[in-house]
Amino acid sequence: MNECIERLEVNISLCDLILVCLWLKVLSVTYVRGGTAFNIIPPFVEFGGTLRSLTTEGLYQLQKRLKEVVKQQAAVHSCNAFIDLKEEEHPPYPATVNDDSLHLLVERVGKSLLGPKNVGEAKKVMAGEDFAFYQQLIPGVMLSIGIRNEEKGSIHSPHSPYFFLDEDVLPIGAALYTNLAETYLNEHQHFNRVGKSLLGPENVKVAEKLLSGDDFAFYQELIPGAMIQIGIRNEKGSYTT
C-alpha cells in the first residue's frame, strides 16, 4: 500500500454522483477509523457503512459505482483502496417487493375485517429483510400490524430500547392471518388440489348436498369459507356409521 501524504477529503453525498435513474439509492458512511495521534500521518484509513436501495437492481448499481469511485479517488491521491462488501459472510439483501395480487388480497381482507379506515399502504423504507429471500422463490407479501397505544406506553419503534408490545393486538393479528389464509385457499381451490396431491385423486370428491344446519355458515356470511369433511368409514374396524 502506498503511503498517502495528502489529506483526502471524502464526499459522503455520493448519491449526487450515482443517481443514474429515478430509484432512490443511499450510501451511509457510519464509521471512520485511522491514526493514533494528531501529528502522525496514518498508514491507512478505514471507513464503512451501508448501501440501501428500493430495488435490487439499484443496489447492484450502487455497489458497482461505489467500487469505481473509491478506487479511482484513491488512485488520484497515489493511494490504494480495498473494498470488502462482506458478500461471502452476508449475501446482499434483495429489495422486499410485494406481489401485486397478494397485496390486493391483504388490502381486501384487511378492510373487510378491520374496516376501510384501519388499512392503508405504509411508506417505503430502506430496511433489509430476510423475507426478501423468500420472495425470490415464491410470491409473497409483507405487512405490518399497528400496535401504537399511548395509554400503555406502546409508542416506540421495535429497534428502540424502550420498545413495548401491546399484546392486545395479538388477537387482531391472528384473525387477520387466519382470514388471509382461508380466503386465499378458497379462491385458489387449494383444498381440492392439495387433497388430491396428498391422498390421491380417487380419494377426493365433492360431497352430496345436505339440508343440515351448521354454525360455520355464520362465518361464511362474513368472509369466504369452505367446509370440508374427512372420511372415517372403516368396515374392518368399529367406525361403520
For 101-138, the pLDDT digits (tens) are 999 999 999 999 999 999 999 888 888 889 999 998 88
Pick the more confident residue, 17 or 196: 196
Q: Please state, in angstroms and rounded to a whole number, the distance separating the CA atoms of residues 13 and 29.
A: 9
Count CB-CB contacts under 10 A for residue 11.
10
State yes or no: pLDDT of 7 exceeds 90.
Answer: no
State yes or no: pLDDT of 12 exceeds 50.
Answer: no
Spatial contact of 4 and 79, defined as CB atoms under 8 Å apart: yes
Please tell me the predicted confidence (pLDDT) of residue 27: 85
Assign a CATH topology to domain 100-222: Aminopeptidase (3.40.630)
Q: What is the DSSP string of the chain?
A: -PPP-S-----S-THHHH--SSS-EEEEEEEEE--SSTTS--S--EEEEEEEESSHHHHHHHHHHHHHHHHHHHHHTT--------TTTSPPPPP----HHHHHHHHHHHHHHH-GGG--PPPP-----THHHHHTTS----------BTTTTB-S-TTSTT----GGGHHHHHHHHHHHHHHHHHHTTHHHHHHHHHH-GGG--PPPP-----THHHHHHHS-----------TTSS---
State yes or no: pLDDT of 205 exceeds 90.
Answer: no
pTM passes above 0.85? no
Please tell me the predicted confidence (pLDDT) of residue 33: 94
Please tell me the predicted confidence (pLDDT) of residue 206: 78
Q: What is the mean pLDDT of residues 55-65?
A: 87
> What does residue 32 show for φ and ψ, rounded to 5 degrees?
-135, 130
Domain 1-92 shares a fold with domain 100-222: no
Q: What is the mean pLDDT of residues 17-43?
A: 78
State yes or no: pLDDT of 212 exceeds 90.
Answer: no
Please tell me the predicted confidence (pLDDT) of residue 238: 58
State yes or no: pLDDT of 16 exceeds 90.
Answer: no
Say which CATH architecture domain 1-92 belongs to.
Answer: 2-Layer Sandwich (3.30)
State yes or no: pLDDT of 221 exceeds 50.
Answer: yes
Q: Where are the domains of the chain?
A: 1-92, 100-222
State yes or no: pLDDT of 90 exceeds 80.
Answer: no
Please tell me the predicted confidence (pLDDT) of residue 23: 56
Q: Which of 29-38, 59-68, 194-203 has the lowest mean pLDDT?
A: 194-203
Please tell me the predicted confidence (pLDDT) of residue 143: 93
